[in-house]
């Protein structure tokens, strides 16, 4: 599993339901280790652990596992019951059929249908069927896609490659996040929001049962947020290689290429095709490891900087501000207040 981090814009979305109900989001943010001051920093990010805990905290405050984004509350425990309903499915197709029908019972404004066209299948989001329903907003659609993709990947015990993620709305300013969340292939202003994938996967057997379901629910929603890593991509292989070593031991680009049984030019070209570079992957991993350490521990800043491969704390401070738009201390506020 990739730990990763989550852009601050999704924290704003996640607490919008609290604000709509007249509830102060600051105590909720502090309870999950997110400093409220980060909301004012557009480049800020939070750890996947913190965002997962925020999801649960908002669900507890609203008794709604869908962030208050639908006319009907998705009451706490609904997601667990959904997982129980699909765990015993024979194939992915049967599991997705159960998922689409279950969401039809849970929510009023947003639904989903499964379509199959020759070698391609799609989970297509639908708008309300009744006049009382409201058109789902962007965050409602984003949340539904995250849940659907997470469930698909869990059922097959591997990240399901999404060939195309289509959206019915204009491209948002943070669309680069979608390439990690959904797919490298994106399309906006489309007739409907949908995840398109290989139809052959529909006949794959479900690899989960009631026993493995308990472990899945124990880690939810973290495992829905991060899903399974895209093991087929070169960038994912590089990330795994780096995660298995301390930053000061990270190889040169040429050594990395040899370790992956590729020439340096082939590795560079394949990373470029995926919209990545070795330096960007190293920076992203350092950033996410730093956010995790700063948000969830009281370890000295100098120790964290050294562990991430920085010769002195000043260099770490400058890099962290470049990555997140904020000083490292902003991420320590909650831990130090406690």
pLDDT score of 133: 64
Domain range annotation of the chain? 5-73, 78-210, 234-337
Q: What is the mean pLDDT of residues 140-150?
A: 95
pLDDT score of 311: 87
pLDDT digits (tens, 9 = 90+) for 100-124: 999 999 999 999 999 998 899 999 9
CATH superfamily of 234-337: Homeodomain-like (1.10.10.60)
Query: Which comes out higher in pLDDT, residue 144 or 338?
Result: 144
pLDDT digits (tens, 9 = 90+) for 162-178: 999 999 999 999 998 99
pLDDT class of 132 with cuts at 50, 70, 90 = low
**How many residues are there in the chain?**
338
Residues 6+ away with beta carbon under 8 Å from 165: 145, 178, 182, 183, 185, 186, 187, 194, 195, 196
pLDDT score of 1: 32
pLDDT score of 208: 83
Ranked by mean pLDDT, which of 31-35, 185-189, 334-338 comes out on top?
A: 185-189
What is the percent of the chain where pLDDT is above 70?
A: 93
**338 pLDDT above the threshold of 60:** no
pLDDT digits (tens, 9 = 90+) for 221-279: 877 776 655 555 788 889 888 888 888 889 999 999 999 999 999 999 998 877 789 99
Reduce the secondary structure of the chain to three states and give it as a string.
Answer: CCCCEEEHHHHHHHHHHHHHCCCCCHHHHHHCCCCHHHHHCCCCEEEHHHHHHHHHHHHHHHCCCCCCCCCCCCCCCHHHHHHHHHHCCCEHHHHHHHHHHHHHHHCCCCEEEEEEECCEEEEEEECCCCCCCCCCCHHHHHHHHHHHHHHHHHHHCCCCCCCEEECCCCCCCCHHHHHHHCCCCEECCCCCCEEEEEHHHHHCECCCCHHHHHHHHHHCCHHHHHCCCCCCCHHHHHHHHHHCCCHHHCCCHHHHHHHCCCCHHHHHHHHHHCCCCHHHHHHHHHHHHHHHHHHHCCCCHHHHHHHCCCCCHHHHHHHHHHHHCCCHHHHCHHHHHC
- Residue 14: its H or E element: helix 8-20
Handedness of CA 174, 164, 81, 210 (dihedral sign): negative
Tell me the pLDDT of the chain averaged across its residues: 89
pTM of the predicted structure, to 2 decimals:
0.82
pLDDT digits (tens, 9 = 90+) for 296-315: 788 899 999 999 989 889 99
* Residue (of 170, 128, 176, 122) closest to 149 by Cα position: 122
Distance CA 55, CA 57 (A): 6
Q: How many CB atoms lie within 10 A of CB 269?
A: 12
pLDDT class of 146 with cuts at 50, 70, 90 = very high
Burial letters 66-96, b for 16+ CB under 10 A, else e: bbbbbeebbeeebbeebbeebbebebbbbbb
Distance CA 52, CA 223 (A): 9
């Amino acid at each position: 599993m990739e730990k990763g981090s989550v852009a601050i814009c999704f924290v704003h979305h996640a607490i919008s339901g609290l604000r709509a109900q007249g509830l102060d989001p600051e105590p909720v943010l502090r309870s999950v280790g997110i400093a409220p001051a980060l909301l004012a920093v557009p480049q800020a990010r939070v750890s996947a652990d913190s965002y997962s805990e925020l999801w649960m905290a908002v669900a507890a405050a609203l008794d709604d596992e869908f962030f208050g984004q639908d006319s009907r509350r998705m009451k706490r425990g609904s997601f667990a019951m959904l997982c129980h309903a699909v765990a015993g499915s024979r194939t992915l197709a049967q599991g997705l059929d159960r998922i689409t029908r279950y969401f039809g019972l849970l929510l009023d404004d947003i639904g989903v249908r499964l379509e199959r066209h020759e070698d391609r299948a799609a989970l297509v989001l639908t708008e309300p069927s009744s006049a009382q329903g409201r058109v789902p907003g962007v965050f409602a659609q984003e949340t539904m896609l995250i849940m659907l993709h997470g469930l698909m990947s869990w059922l097959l015990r591997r990240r399901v490659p999404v060939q195309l993620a289509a959206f019915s709305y204009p491209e948002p300013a943070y669309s680069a996040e979608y390439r990690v969340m959904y797919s490298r292939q994106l399309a906006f202003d489309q007739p409907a929001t949908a995840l398109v994938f290989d139809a052959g996967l529909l006949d794959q057997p479900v690899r989960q049962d009631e026993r493995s379901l308990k472990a899945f629910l124990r880690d939810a929603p973290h495992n829905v947020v991060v899903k399974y890593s895209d093991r087929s991509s070169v960038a994912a292989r590089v990330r795994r290689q780096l995660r298995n070593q301390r930053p000061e031991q990270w190889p040169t680009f040429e050594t990395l290429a040899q370790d992956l049984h590729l020439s340096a030019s082939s590795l560079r070209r394949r990373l470029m095709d995926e919209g990545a570079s070795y330096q960007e992957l190293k920076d992203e991993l350092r950033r996410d490891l730093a956010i995790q350490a700063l948000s969830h521990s009281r370890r000295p800043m100098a120790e964290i900087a050294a562990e991430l491969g920085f010769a002195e704390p000043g260099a770490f401070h400058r890099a962290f501000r470049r990555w997140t738009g904020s000083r490292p201390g902003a991420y320590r506020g909650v831990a130090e207040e406690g």
